[in-house]
Amino acid sequence: MNRTTGNSPFSQPDEHGHFGRFGGVFVSETLIAALSELTDAWRAARDDETFWAAFQHEMAHYVGRPSPIYHARNWSQQLGGAQIYLKREDLNHTGSHKVNNCIGQALLARRMGKTRIIAETGAGQHGVATASVAARYGLPCVVYMGAEDVRRQASNVYRMKLLGAEVRAVESGSRTLKDALNEAMRDWVTNIADTFYIIGTVAGPHPYPQMVRDFQSIIGHECREQMVKLAGRQPDEIIACVGGGSNAIGIFHPYLDEANVRLTGVEAAGKGLHTPFHAAALGCGRAGVLHGNRTMLLQDANGQIMEAHSVSAGLDYPGVGPEHAWLQETGRVQYVAASDDEALAAFHALTRAEGILPALESSHALAHAARIAPTLPKDAIVLVNLSGRGDKDMHTVAEYGGLQL
């Protein structure tokens, strides 16, 4: 159920992991063996019904799936146009869509006989999801995190430690996500025999972008069934925020062949696309290589990777998954951006109208929904992927000048 049919124009990547001119494998010689072992194991698991049965069991009993779809009637009425529906990934165990992918990769690690998990994290959300799943399966877990991020995200670091993970602060470079990525790769090269590297979004070298997409596609597959039951038809438009792009590809992918469903990804415009303080790799970036694949990246005139900025830590990534770069080029998905201010406004509006505190990442998707809903007829349907809950963002919201804590 998590696979696309072979004859769709969207059944990418090819066997080398290319999505058009994007994707692929750009790693040092020493990682090739590990990646081909992973690719073979993934190919076999993907064709094995018992693997997906185990995945579905965990999704139901550990994560709490299927996550519901909620018709946000009050907010829709206030906006005065389209009906807005929310896919409630915020209700998953650990509070976002990230756990879907962590469970999938941990099951694959077990199947491969790996006994140790590593991950890298920027904001700490992927680190927390990985540490939870590692605890669940009794696997020791090391999480690499830039020293600067360790300082900024103290409560997530504490959470990971409570869950039994070891957090290694990386002191090199800018001491942020890029540097943590390099350290995680280095660890993997050194400990290939027993270690599984869990990547948190649809980035990295092949097979990660495809594998993470297939795990997250459970979101869109559920929506296809739920929308028919709830509204009698599929939505006119689906909107999701894009950091690395995993929640977006998860809801979009099962709809790629439905030409009548408009698909819109929303990047973080930060302080504005005309400033250097944003995270719009698709909107403003150029093609280049990062994290083992070719994709769209924020880079300066010399090709150096630039720091991304967003009020939401989870969108603060200078690249984007290669499948999104390709989907933008084909025109099947349109990508827009929403600023910090717009995301905060949507955060407050949804919270007050519906009693749901959205994550600041998800608030970027909500901001675009708020922009287009008033321009659409009252019987139009817009489905927003509510990728996570906002409890983690209380301090940021208060600092930004909402109600004081």
Ligand X SMILES: *Cc1c(COP(=O)(O)O)cnc(C)c1O
Q: Does 267 bind ligand X (CB under 6 A)?
A: no
Q: Does 365 bind ligand X (CB under 6 A)?
A: no
| CB of residue 287 to ligand X, shortest distance in Å | 19
Q: Does 314 bind ligand X (CB under 6 A)?
A: yes
Select the residue interacting with ligand X from 39, 153, 176, 247 (CB under 6 A). Answer: 247
Nearer residue to ligand X within complex by CB, 153 or 362: 362
Q: DSSP labels for 26-67? A: ---HHHHHHHHHHHHHHHHHHT-HHHHHHHHHHIIIII-PSP
Select the residue interacting with ligand X from 246, 264, 299, 339 (CB under 6 A). Answer: 246
Nearer residue to ligand X within complex by CB, 81 or 246: 246
| CB of residue 129 to ligand X, shortest distance in Å | 8
Per-residue tokens: 152: 């900024």
Q: Helix (H, G, I), strand (E, B), or coil: what is residue 301? A: coil
Considering only the stretches 72-80, 137-145, 355-363, 393-401, report the one whose residues sit in contact with ligand X under the rule CB under 6 A.
355-363
Select the residue interacting with ligand X from 34, 82, 238, 242 (CB under 6 A). Answer: 242
Nearer residue to ligand X within complex by CB, 91 or 165: 91
Site for ligand X in 117-136 (CB under 6 A): 125
What is the distance, to the nearest Å, from the Cα of residue 44 to the centroid of all Cα atoms in its chain? Answer: 24
Identify whether 229 is a catalytic site residue: no
Q: Does 385 bind ligand X (CB under 6 A)?
A: no
Q: Does 217 bind ligand X (CB under 6 A)?
A: no
| CB of residue 280 to ligand X, shortest distance in Å | 13
Considering only the stretches 24-32, 189-197, 239-247, 371-379, report the one whose residues sit in contact with ligand X under the rule CB under 6 A.
239-247
Q: Does 153 bind ligand X (CB under 6 A)?
A: no
Q: Helix (H, G, I), strand (E, B), or coil: what is residue 90? A: helix
Cα dihedral sign, 220-224-227-230:
negative
What gap in Å lies between CA 158 and CA 181, rounded to an integer? Answer: 20
Which residue among 120, 183, 222, 323 is the active-site one? 120
Sheet holding 166-170, edge to edge: 166-170, 141-146, 116-121, 195-197
Nearer residue to ligand X within complex by CB, 315 or 370: 315
Q: Does 362 bind ligand X (CB under 6 A)?
A: yes
Select the residue interacting with ligand X from 100, 153, 195, 201 (CB under 6 A). Answer: 201
**Which one, of 273, 270, 327, 272, lies nearest residue 296 by Cα?**
327
Judged on CB neighbours under 10 Å (0-12, 13-18, 19+), 190 is exposed
Nearer residue to ligand X within complex by CB, 13 or 243: 243
Identify whether 132 is a catalytic site residue: no
Judged on CB neighbours under 10 Å (0-12, 13-18, 19+), 215 is buried
Q: Does 176 bind ligand X (CB under 6 A)?
A: no
Identify whether 120 is a catalytic site residue: yes
Sheet holding 69-71, edge to edge: 69-71, 83-88, 381-386, 237-241, 262-270, 333-339
CA neighbours closer than 13 Å in the CB half-sphere of residue 20: 16
| CB of residue 357 to ligand X, shortest distance in Å | 12
Site for ligand X in 54-113 (CB under 6 A): 96, 98
Q: Does 388 bind ligand X (CB under 6 A)?
A: yes
Q: Does 340 bind ligand X (CB under 6 A)?
A: no
Select the residue interacting with ligand X from 118, 328, 387, 397 (CB under 6 A). Answer: 387
Which residue among 98, 114, 178, 392 is the active-site one? 98
Considering only the stretches 14-22, 54-62, 279-287, 358-366, report the one whose residues sit in contact with ligand X under the rule CB under 6 A.
358-366
- H/E stretch holding 338 reads strand 333-339
What gap in Å lies between CA 98 and CA 107, rounded to an integer? Answer: 15
By DSSP bridging, strand 166-170 and strand 141-146 are parallel
Task: Decide if 316 contacts 268 (C-beta within 8 A).
Answer: yes
| CB of residue 244 to ligand X, shortest distance in Å | 4
Sheet holding 293-297, edge to edge: 18-19, 22-23, 293-297, 286-290
Task: Decide if 221 contacts 254 (C-beta within 8 A).
Answer: yes
Residues engaged in binding ligand X (CB under 6 A): 96, 98, 125, 201, 241-248, 314-315, 359, 361-362, 387-388
Query: What are the catalytic residues?
Result: 98, 120, 387
